[in-house]
Amino acid sequence: MSKEQIQHILEDVEAGRLSSKDALLKLKLEPFEDIGFAKVDNHRALRQGIGEVIYGASKTPEQISKIVDVMLQNGQKMILITRLSAEAAAAVMEHQPMSFYKSCGIGIIGEIPVPDGQGTIVIATGGTSDVPVAEEAALTAEALGNKVIRLYDVGVAGLHRLMSHKDEIMSARVVIAIAGMEGALASVIGGLVDCPVIGVPTSVGYGASFGGLSALLSMLNSCASGVSVVNIDNGFGAGYLASMINHMEGK
């Protein structure tokens, strides 16, 4: 939607020809810009509160750069790119300044905003091998305006490590529990806190872990109340959901 179209809508509201409710609906129904290989959702922030995120896997650097251009032209100030390879990131950075976090494949164009969430998101991992998924979650949450505390390598094989951080865990607004193997960390944390826990199973583990399926099923069958689960290795999904919870009023 052009500035002129938006101006006409605002003038109609001002003149009483259009209600503010109907004006908002008109804005929401202008969904995308068709650039051939993609339809860029320029009004996602209006509908959902968070702008469109670029999934970098399987896209060429040229495609990513074009999508970025359209987003910037339409006023999106911060752009998050997930699952971005180092090679694609290097090519994109020739076209547009970007912070790239190689360990988790996250690219961020623009400034990470000052946290404006209601509280703190705690991200805990069972082991160091889970950190790449955790960093995807942490950077996603930070890019969406949240304060994040990282508690890495605090799994159930040494429960005292987790309990040494009980103050941070019990004061969190949301906890993201990330673990492979048997995925027990989500249940343990779920039994300690009064806030939502988001379980992220990872593909870390030996053969019988079935690439994270064992951890997924364990988390889905958690006996602790208040535990929800995202897909295997889906740090982005967990960080996004945690941000939505953390930006809801009241607790």
Q: Using an 8 Å Cβ cutoff, are 201 and 219 in contact? A: yes
> What is the domain-level CATH number for residue 159?
3.40.50.1970
DSSP bridge pairs for 106? 101
d(CA 100, CA 123) in angstroms, rounded, equals: 20
Q: What is the pLDDT of residue 3?
A: 54
Residue 170: CB atoms within 10 A of its CB come to 14
* Same domain (yes/no): 167, 210: yes
Residue-wise pLDDT for 19-37, tens only, equals 988 887 777 666 777 778 8
Asked if the model's pLDDT at residue 95 lies above 90, the reply is no
Output b/e per residue, 216-233; b: 16+ Cβ within 10 A. Answer: bebbeebebeebbbbebb
Residue-wise pLDDT for 57-71, tens only, equals 999 999 999 999 888
* Same domain (yes/no): 195, 240: yes
* Same domain (yes/no): 226, 204: yes
d(CA 124, CA 122) in angstroms, rounded, equals: 6
**pTM for the whole thing?**
0.85
Q: What is the pLDDT of residue 29?
A: 60
Helices (H), the chain: 3-15, 20-28, 44-48, 61-73, 86-95, 131-143, 159-163, 166-170, 185-190, 213-220, 235-246
Q: Give a yes or no: residue 251 inside a domain.
A: no
Q: Give a yes or no: residue 158 inside a domain.
A: yes
**What is the pLDDT confidence band of residue 54, given thresholds at 50, 70 and 90?**
very high
Which residues touch 130 (CB under 8 Å, ≥6 apart)? Answer: 152, 178, 179, 180, 202, 204
* Same domain (yes/no): 57, 15: no
* Same domain (yes/no): 136, 223: yes
Residue-wise pLDDT for 70-79, tens only, equals 888 877 889 9
Closest to 5 (Cα-Cα) out of 27, 31, 34, 35? 27
Q: Give a yes or no: residue 115 inside a domain.
A: no
Q: Give a yes or no: residue 114 inside a domain.
A: no
Q: Using an 8 Å Cβ cutoff, are 166 and 189 in contact? A: no
* Same domain (yes/no): 42, 130: no
Closest to 105 (Cα-Cα) out of 53, 153, 66? 53
Total tally of structural domains belonging to the chain:
3
